[in-house]
Structure 1
Amino acid sequence: MRASGTLDTVNRPLRRAGAYALLSLLALAAPTLGRLAAVPFAAVAVAAYFVTDGRAFDLFAYPWDERAGRLETLLGFSLAATGLSVVYSVGSFDLPLAVYVATLLAVGFGDLGRVLALDSVEDEAAGAAGFGVLGFAAATAGQLAVAQSRPAIAVFLAASGVLLAALLRSVFTEKDDPLVILSVALLLWLFADLHPDVGAVRVGVAIAATVVFGYLSYATGAASVAGMLTGVFLGLLAVVLGGYGWFVVLMAFFGVGGLSTKFRYDEKTDRGVAEGNSGARGTGNVLGNSAAALAALLLYAASPGLPVPSDVFLFAFAASVATALADTLSSEIGGLYGPPRLITTLEPVDPGTDGAVTWQGELAGLAGAALIALLALALTPLDAVDAVVVLVGGIAGMTMDSLAGATIEGDRLGNQSVNFLATLTGGVAGGLLALAFGLA
């Protein structure tokens, strides 16, 4: 029979998180071990398979492990770390040491920070903050310890990795560590290969600005914790990979869009057109409206190796954001008026019907696209003609959203998928128009 009660039950979550954090430190031995870097984690995996009771079991076991009678979580963590060690140590894969170290320390120490925070304040946002602070510090220090990154790049990789890990942790449990570790490693590997030419000031400003904006979005109820983390992550990438102007354009969507969602919320609730979760937007909503912009941002960063002018992706980015704000305002403002009409037939329909529009909503959407176009004009290299292209792309995307809502949303596509289709349409339209008229 398995021994129990050998550890203080009050401190057990903290002891367990500390044990996993210490385990992640084995990554720091990689430069010394070379091709044998996977051995320590592999040894832990073997032990995790055979240990079924005793103090070691009590130290590492989560409740689901106790029910299963096996250290499945420790096995998953150590096997994922072993796999990552193999990819690092086999030269043909060329996984940077900085990525390997930052990934494991961000996850291991991030979980410890989360437990420490929750031990003091039982609040989901506090847990996310604790994850971010300690995970970021450990991932940064780990990279600097193995001397594999410039300080600015180390900070950027650490911040990106811990934000993604915290976001995934808000959705998945520790049981899913292999998925979290793999996702973070792949993302950081991509960023390392992009070789972003950024300095410490830009990275520092990016982290400070995005954290402040994220806190405000959560404190005002405009975003859930997961939505806040997603917005902070996207904002960080906008500053580092694009520039300050890109960041302001993106944050204008989040800020104005969030305020429009809260505008006369009770009245929209009565009409059946209010956003769920008290208007707090989650990860699905944020990504549905921003994934196309993120793709444009990454392609811009990778553009030196692509046969397409880099400015095409600036057009695509701005037009996709213009679409997102236009669509949000047309829905949030237009939903207050009526009767709405189906865009395909112009027949009156009930409020909240997919594909329904009002002339007030269309004007609000036009104003939203114009705002983004003007910000792009003021804060990026785009000129007045370019801004018109962004405006047209935003209107095209907003129209696509209504058409898709009236024809394919529901059984075939959900709202977030339609939002992505619309913003992708707007971004592609902006980029193609820039190429067609020789603006990029």
Structure 2
Amino acid sequence: MAAARWVLVVNAGSSSLKYQVLDAASGETAASGIVERIGGAGRIEHTTDGETHEQDVTCHDHAEALDAARAALREHGPDLATLDLFAVGHRVVHGGPDFTEPALVDDDVLAAVEELVPLAPLHNPANLEGIRGARSTFPDVPQVAVFDTAFHQTLPPAAHTYAVPKAWREHHRVRRYGFHGTSHRYVSRRTAELLGREPEDCNVIVLHLGNGASACAVRRGESVDTSMGLSPLEGLVMGTRSGDVDPALGAYLQRVAGLDGTAYDTALNKESGLLALAGVSDLREVESRCEAGDEDAALAVEVMVHRLRKYVGAYAVLLGRVDAIAFTGGIGENSAMVRREVVEGLGILGVELDHGANDAGDPERVVTTHGSAIPVWVVPTNEELEIARACLTVVEGQGSR
């Protein structure tokens, strides 16, 4: 049996810090948790051995949030001091054009990630705080940055190039980057495994649907197109993000409503999507309102599903051959209604929904009939395991040099 390779995976948000302790060799999860409301009076929720422990904590910054996580691990297990921690893996949202693979964190990598803050002002600063806090807390443990954008660095120029002035593209790094790459990588590979094929012999359309949502066309294990662009705003309808809009909208609203760039950006990121259409951003509430006859909620679902079908159709043409479609993420894994509405609109592709399988079954399952031309799978994502595996590859690779 292979020796355990325990990894602490850290996903730092602006006011929260999610963490998980798992064995990169076996995939076993020992504990997971989240510290919320960083910046003052916060709260930690820690789960291990099927039990969840909650506690109020004071966390002024991400370093103190990590201290709270370590305290919870000491009290409820496993104690990192006795675990022989192999690495700390960090989710970093934006890696720009240069980070095509996970990277062992050093001062140069930190400086490069900081330079990318203008591309991801809502995410990279928090990711940096998480890394700095972990380097201080675990000074002798290798730290690995795993970038959401890295999986999409295989996009061909036709897919990642915007038809905008050359100066924008060359001097301001304007292009399609794509996000959710860790999830798309894991789910596309797991789907190939479920089909009994190698990723290099498989074309998959992955729909990562949660409060943030993106579609990805994966050809032979590589991302060849994805719905998110320069930022996570482009593409599908999301909880509070608009997804695709006419690029002229900003200038129009400036003329008629006096809306400046900051207000426009805030509105599209935090006040749009399902929230703008239905009045709530949580799809579970949207579904409940639909069932109660709420017309706004019904329209929100129609707009969301219409956009999803468009992307699936476009990616089917792009790939030429589709071996599977995979739903993942909180909505993709749990909303039978969204899967039904999307799949029932794919008849032209020969897709046939199995209503019974769609409504209930194992978390990982096929939801189409045996006669369906393309199988549709529900595949729970495991970004933490993918990050831990990346740590294993990077650290062991570094040691073999």
Asked whether the two chains share a fold, i.e. TM above 0.5, the reply is no
Structure that is richer in strand per residue: 2
Larger CA Rg, structure 1 vs 2: 1
TM-score relative to the length of structure 1: 0.28
TM-score relative to the length of structure 2: 0.30
Structure that is richer in helix per residue: 1
